[in-house]
Structure 1
Amino acid sequence: MTRPLIGISTYREQARWGVWDQPADLLPTGYARSIERAGGVPVLLPPGDPEAARTVVARLDGLVIAGGADVEPARYGAEPHARTTGWREDRDAWELALLDAAAPDLPVLGICRGMQVMAVAGGGSLDQHLPDRVGSDAHSPGGAAFGRIDVDVVAGTMLAAAIGDKGSVRCHHHQAVRDHPDFVPAAWAADGTLEAMEDPGHRFRLAVQWHPETADDAGLFRALVAAASHDD
């Protein structure tokens, strides 16, 4: 069996390693390791020319839109909230182009920011600062710390088949999906925050607001790689 190629979008940031301090294309190792453990081959996709997205996606068996900075509010017709900062226009353009170029049957998994990008790509919008609505920082305590929340998974969804009906997840987001025209809810937090969504007309087009790459449970990655495999 040929192992499926899973593309993962990446950051492009100023970074330091060894004697170097310069712009770098990077991603936490958990993403690639999770894909490898699930039986796939990770391929990192740094922000590039959106015109090349169709060429890139044609070579992939699956796609992950990874976590990262806020999406530019202009992408969904909004003015920036005071806490919406540091968006990356090149990454927004690249990931939206990847999603636009993806064939209808290409398995796609969105993670944290990736869920928000997928919603915006489908004509949706975001709550720009979740604490304004829920009254706490439970979803993103600050700094490099992850929040831990319980989610209730909607029965009968692709997500439920991958991870079960509920669980405790690690999250780090101050924004959330408000509208999601191309998707149906797949999981909720107790405070009413949408924590996952999926396209029921697609064999695997799913997004979660949490960070499964930081946990030992690889159910989502196994489901992605299974959907991306061509051994059937």
Structure 2
Amino acid sequence: MPRQPLIGVTTYLTRARWGAAWDLPAALLPASYAQHVQRAGGLAVQLPPDDPAAAGDIVRRLDGLVLAGGEDLDPGLYGERPHARAGAPVPERDAWELALLDAALERGVPVLGICRGMQLMNVHAGGTLCQHLPDEVGHEDHNPVVGSFTDHLVKPVPGTRLGGLLPEPCDVATHHHQSVSRLGDGLVATAYAEDGTVEALERPGDGVFAVGVQWHPEARDDLRLTRALVEAATTH
């Protein structure tokens, strides 16, 4: 039997309550992320924020990396002041995940960015974000119910890696109020919502698996993206 690839998944760093009495700072992640990786054939390990200088040592032990969803990125990372509707940034998480991504790209470790993770990939490449998407598209359909995923249609771009994995338009689980504005250097947009919002991006090139999606595949049963990550990690 081939060895199952080890897939690192980044986490929140926030205050949390659990049990009858505990209310403490916590590194946490919805269980659906790990379960999705496991169902796709990988071994999942959580990567709480750490010293960015340790990112290279961590990535050397991984076969693949998932940049999970979460809080808004610090707009200072792309040279902007915070929008009135932007959430409070978590600098420790921003710095850690940018360092992990940098190390993964340098070593050719496959990467899947989910929601915030896709946005981080874009900012890492020098791109910018729209800090409150309803200002641009005039509706709330990308995040109609806070705290709940809602489906909407995305159209993959033919001829891209994502287009090969998802060849037909499909409904995806959405929950975001920010989006890609200016695309980062070396990235291509690979799926769009019906209102023109960039819903996926990737780094093109044979042998390179660096894919970001604005939606949440872990919130639904479709394993095609995560299986592709696991397959790329197995090859790596």
Q: Equivalent residue for 1:90?
A: 92
Tell me if 1:183 matches 2:183. no
Q: Equivalent residue for 1:149?
A: 152
Q: Equivalent residue for 2:111?
A: 108
Q: Equivalent residue for 1:9?
A: 10
Counterpart Cα distance in 1 of 2:33 and 2:50: 20
SS at match of 1:161: helix
- Cα distance, 1:203 vs. partner? 2.2
SS at match of 1:31: helix
Gaps of 5+ in 2: none
- Cα distance, 1:31 vs. partner? 0.6
| 2:199 and 2:215 in contact (8 A); partners too | yes
Counterpart Cα distance in 2 of 1:69 and 1:78: 17
Q: Equivalent residue for 1:124?
A: 127
Listed one character per residue, the Cα deviations across residues 40-80 of structure 1 (whole Å, up to 9, x for unaligned) are: 00010001100100110110000000000000000000011
SS at match of 1:160: helix
Task: Compute the TM-score of the two structures, normalised by the length of structure 1.
Answer: 0.97
Q: Equivalent residue for 1:140?
A: 143
Listed one character per residue, the Cα deviations across residues 3-25 of structure 1 (whole Å, up to 9, x for unaligned) are: 00000000011111112110111
What is the correspondence of 1:34-53 to structure 2 with a 5 Å cutoff?
A: 34-53=36-55
Counterpart Cα distance in 2 of 1:161 and 1:225: 16
What is the correspondence of 1:59-74 to structure 2 with a 5 Å cutoff?
A: 59-74=61-76
Counterpart Cα distance in 2 of 1:215 and 1:163: 14
Identity %: 54
SS at match of 2:9: strand
- Cα distance, 1:104 vs. partner? 4.3
| 2:146 and 2:175 in contact (8 A); partners too | no
Q: CA RMSD in A?
A: 1.2
Counterpart Cα distance in 2 of 1:104 and 1:150: 34
Counterpart Cα distance in 2 of 1:43 and 1:118: 20
Counterpart Cα distance in 2 of 1:17 and 1:125: 36
SS at match of 2:221: coil
Listed one character per residue, the Cα deviations across residues 91-127 of structure 1 (whole Å, up to 9, x for unaligned) are: 0000001011113421000000000000000110000
Listed one character per residue, the Cα deviations across residues 136-172 of structure 1 (whole Å, up to 9, x for unaligned) are: 0100113212232100000121112222221001111
Amino acid at match of 2:18: W
SS at match of 1:169: strand
Q: Equivalent residue for 1:23?
A: 25
Deviates more, 1:111-120 or 1:176-185: 176-185
Counterpart Cα distance in 1 of 2:4 and 2:148: 34
Q: Equivalent residue for 2:234?
A: 229
Tell me if 1:159 matches 2:172. no
Amino acid at match of 2:201: M
Counterpart Cα distance in 1 of 2:89 and 2:145: 18
Counterpart Cα distance in 2 of 1:178 and 1:39: 34
Deviates more, 1:211-220 or 1:195-204: 195-204
SS at match of 2:181: strand
